[in-house]
Amino acid sequence: MKQIIAFLIFIILASCKSEDSLEKKVLQGNAFGTTYTIQYFTNSSFDAQKQIDSVLYRVNKSMSTYIYQSDISKINRGDSTIVVDALFKDVWQISEIVHKNSLGYFDPTVGSLRNLYGFGDTPYHETINAKVLDSVSALVGFNKASIKKNGTVHKDNPNIYLDFNAVAKGYGIDCLGTMLSSNNITDYIIELGGEVLAKGINISKNRPWTSAVEAIVSQVDNRKAVVYFTLQDRGLAGSGNYRKYRIDDSTGKKYVHTINPLTGLAEQNNVTSATIIAPTCALADAYATACMAMGFEKAKAMLETLKDVDGYVTYVDANQDPKSYSTKGFEDLILK
């Protein structure tokens, strides 16, 4: 029986009280196969739920591989007439940046491999051998796809499968933040599936919003934090392989959900989790995935060269002892 367990960042969302003319609002719901909680302060009224639903609909229609009639699903089925929207183009550009900075370890064309291993939206392949892996790996490479001037997507091979799931959720959160800002909301926190965008402060506490990274030894029903930190005007995302994996029914082989696009392998490297803070949630989302695929030394080297991107990475050393690393910028945010 296959086993797939979701990874979540442990988020601390402090309870708030109404303060003078500003009223605290809390909205919760379902989106992108998970749940969301949005907290914000306002002294005006607008149909927030309607606008939230509109944002989520547009992101899904553009980039959800789980919706048959979405633009990306049609493109993946070989429809070369689809003119992509501004959201799709934004995510493509973000992906190009992270693809370059991660030396190719972040790659939206990894979708065929994700499906092969059973982490995508199609049935997984019963037999994974060298021949099958080579065939599928030939479809991977972000340089094998492009957006043409007329807004349609070109793929060198029609079977290339685009998958923005490692960035689209973060991008969707950013879009929700843009919606709130357009309604003159300056202090809010959005949590969706363990990813967070925080703006302004927690007004009732008169201090920045607070989040935490979950210890990898935590149980699903008894989460424990390893570090607490402040989050202000930035996005947060994390990824980990310690809960999300699949055990092959016939061979007993373990496949982790983070796939190395350069080797095509879904095998555990020495990184166990990566928590990234960046100017946007989309960037944090993509860089967290890249860190998981790169292994610790490459991930550390990348983080030390990135401007305005900070991270907390857990890994095991050569003796299989658990270790952690954080950038100086992340260290500065940790609550002592």
3-state secondary structure the chain: CCCCCCCCCCCCCCCCCCECCEEEEEEEEEECCEEEEEEEEECCCCCHHHHHHHHHHHHHHHHCCCCCCCHHHHHHCCCCCCCCCHHHHHHHHHHHHHHHHCCCCCCHHHHHHHHHHCCCCCCCCCCCCHHHHHHHHCCCCHHHEEECCCCCEEECCCCCCCCCHHHHHHHHHHHHHHHHHHCCCCCEEEEECCEEEEECCECCCCECEEEEEECCCCECCECCEEEEEEECCEEEEEEECCCCEEECCCCCCEEECCCCCCCCCCCCCCEEEEEEEECCHHHHHHHHHHHHHHCHHHHHHHHCCCCCCEEEEEEECCCCCEEEEECHHHHHHECC
pLDDT score for 249 = 52
Average pLDDT, the chain: 87
Give this prediction's pTM.
0.88
Rounded to whole angstroms, the Cα distance separating 103 from 47 reads 43
pLDDT score for 20 = 54
Stretch 134-160: mean pLDDT: 97
pLDDT score for 9 = 47
78 band by pLDDT with thresholds 50, 70 and 90: very high
Task: Summarize pLDDT for 254-265 with one digit per residue, the tens.
Answer: 455 688 999 988
Residue 49 has pLDDT above 60, yes or no: yes
21 band by pLDDT with thresholds 50, 70 and 90: confident
Task: Summarize pLDDT for 182-225 with one digit per residue, the tens.
Answer: 999 999 999 999 899 999 999 989 999 999 887 654 444 445 66
pLDDT score for 128 = 79
Stretch 287-316: mean pLDDT: 96
Stretch 260-275: mean pLDDT: 89
Out of 65-69, 119-123, 290-294, 302-306, pick the least confident: 119-123
pLDDT score for 216 = 59
Q: Which residue has the higher pLDDT, 27 or 20?
A: 27
Residue 87 has pLDDT above 90, yes or no: yes
Stretch 268-286: mean pLDDT: 94
Stretch 72-95: mean pLDDT: 98
Stretch 284-306: mean pLDDT: 96
Stretch 133-144: mean pLDDT: 95
Q: Which residue has the higher pLDDT, 217 or 179?
A: 179
Q: Across the beta sheet with 310-316, what order do the strands follow?
A: 23-31, 34-42, 188-192, 195-199, 234-240, 271-278, 310-316, 322-326
Cβ-Cβ contacts under 8 Å for 250 (sequence gap 6 or more) = 126
Stretch 117-122: mean pLDDT: 75
Which domains, from first to last, does the chain contain? Answer: 23-333 (3.10.520.10)
Rounded to whole angstroms, the Cα distance separating 107 from 45 reads 41
241 band by pLDDT with thresholds 50, 70 and 90: low
118 band by pLDDT with thresholds 50, 70 and 90: confident
Q: Which residue has the higher pLDDT, 295 or 3?
A: 295
pLDDT score for 248 = 52
From the list 285, 20, 288, the residue with the least C-alpha distance to 174 is 285
